[in-house]
């Protein structure tokens, strides 16, 4: 509606200007007025031209005043073109970005589809694994119950075996070649070796011990063809313990009988393991004691034997392995004992008797000693020697 009024107004104004221009031109023509020295005819034409120019100027002015779009079209066209060009470039850039984003979106969609497929597969796999886990848990519970039952049966069997072993020496008949817990053989193993090296060394040790006990009358087990019956777990545990410890240590490995061993039978055994330690150093005084002289040599001998028994007890307490048959660390030389008894008897005074280690003595033994006897009041000792044999 506003546009119609504006157009109508422009038409009316243009008509009025044209009318006025024509009227002015007619009057000037009749009066033969000249402008700028022009002839009246050309003056009328000039007035007509001025009227047309005024029509255009007024029309444009009215349109420019009344419409922002007209002003923009007349005075802001270049700026509008620049903006349009800029916007076109922006649109083109945005279209490129949109195209790239569409490609990325397509790739992401493909990846998302792959992830969804993997998720579905994993979900199905988890579902299957969960079912298997539930089945395994049920089986595990059943195995635990079965293990508990077997453990109880093993305990009952062990109790039965122990009871049988406790009375086996009264039931079984034959020559006993090894007593219960008696040492069969002994070896020294260096720590820090590989498991395979330690295993091979222990197997050699068992083979050598087998030859020894076979010569004594033992027999191989018919089922395993082995002389020694020993738990495989115990054998592996001993190997592992030796392997895990300090490589500078030596270990004393003892093979012991579990029960009384009858001739012509295999031997049920177990291992004893202890560190090989230096118990007494060379020339170390093990024990000293004062012994009074007596005219009866038997009494002096009895006191010396008592002193040697104390040495034996002390050596066992410190870790020397005693003889499995006698429980002693060795035997005494009768000549050395006689000389020591004679020295004390002939001294006629109280003598200080010292038992001294002859060599460095380690855990396996045997302990070799000498006896030194000297008067309490005399600075010079009267010396005799005692050797504890193997």
Residue 263 and residue 328 in contact, taking contact as beta carbons nearer than 8 Å: no
Residues 6+ apart with CB under 8 A from 235: 202, 271
Of the listed ranges 271-275, 308-312, 319-323, 376-380, the one predicted with least confidence: 376-380
pLDDT digits (tens, 9 = 90+) for 229-271: 888 888 888 888 888 876 678 888 889 888 888 888 888 899 8
Secondary structure (DSSP) of 10-68: HHHHHHHHHHHHHHHHHHHHHHT--STT--HHHHHHHHHHHHHHHHHHHHHHHHHHH-H
CA 324/CA 277 separation, integer angstroms: 19
Peptide bond into 366 cis (omega under 30): yes
pLDDT, greater one: 161 or 235:
235
What pLDDT digit, counting tens, does each position of 96-123 carry?
988 888 888 888 888 888 898 888 888 8
Threshold 0.75, pTM exceeds: no
List the domain boundaries for the chain.
2-75, 176-276, 279-389
- Asked if pLDDT for residue 141 goes beyond 80, the answer is yes
């Amino acid at each position: 509606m506003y546009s119609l009024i504006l157009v109508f107004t422009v038409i009316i104004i243009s008509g009025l200007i044209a009318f006025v221009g024509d009227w002015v031109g007619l009057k000037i023509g009749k009066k033969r007025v000249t402008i700028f020295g022009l002839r009246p005819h050309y003056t009328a034409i000039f007035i007509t031209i001025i009227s047309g120019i005024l029509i255009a100027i007024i029309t444009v002015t009215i349109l420019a005043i009344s419409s922002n779009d007209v002003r923009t079209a007349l005075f802001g066209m270049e700026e509008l073109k620049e903006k349009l060009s800029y916007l076109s470039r922006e649109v083109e850039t945005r279209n490129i970005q949109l195209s790239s984003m569409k490609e990325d979106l397509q790739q992401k969609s493909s990846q998302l589809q792959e992830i969804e497929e993997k998720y579905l597969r994993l979900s199905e796999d988890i579902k299957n694994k969960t079912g298997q886990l539930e089945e395994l848990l049920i089986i595990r519970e059943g195995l635990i119950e079965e293990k508990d039952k077997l453990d109880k049966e093993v305990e009952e069997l062990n109790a039965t075996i122990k009871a049988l072993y406790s009375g086996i020496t009264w039931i079984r008949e034959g020559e006993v070649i090894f007593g219960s817990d008696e040492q069969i053989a002994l070896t020294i193993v260096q720590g820090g070796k590989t498991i395979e090296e330690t295993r091979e060394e222990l197997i050699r040790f068992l083979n050598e011990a087998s030859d020894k006990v076979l010569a004594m009358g033992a027999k191989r087990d018919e089922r395993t063809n082995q002389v020694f019956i020993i738990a495989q777990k115990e054998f592996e545990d001993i190997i592992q313990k030796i392997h895990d410890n300090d490589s500078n240590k030596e270990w004393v490995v003892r093979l012991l009988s579990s029960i009384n061993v009858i001739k012509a039978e295999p031997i049920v055994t177990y291992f004893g393991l202890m560190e090989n330690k230096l118990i007494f150093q060379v020339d170390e005084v093990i024990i000293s004691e004062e012994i009074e002289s007596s005219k009866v040599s038997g009494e002096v001998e009895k006191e010396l034997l008592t002193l040697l028994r104390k040495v034996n007890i002390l050596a066992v307490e410190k870790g020397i392995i005693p003889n499995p048959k006698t429980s002693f660390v060795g035997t005494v030389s009768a000549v050395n004992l006689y000389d020591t008894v004679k020295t004390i008897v002939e001294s006629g005074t109280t003598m200080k008797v010292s038992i001294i280690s002859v060599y460095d003595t380690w855990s396996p033994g045997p302990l070799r000693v000498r006896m030194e006897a000297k008067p309490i009041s005399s600075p010079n000792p009267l010396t005799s020697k005692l050797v504890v044999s193997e």
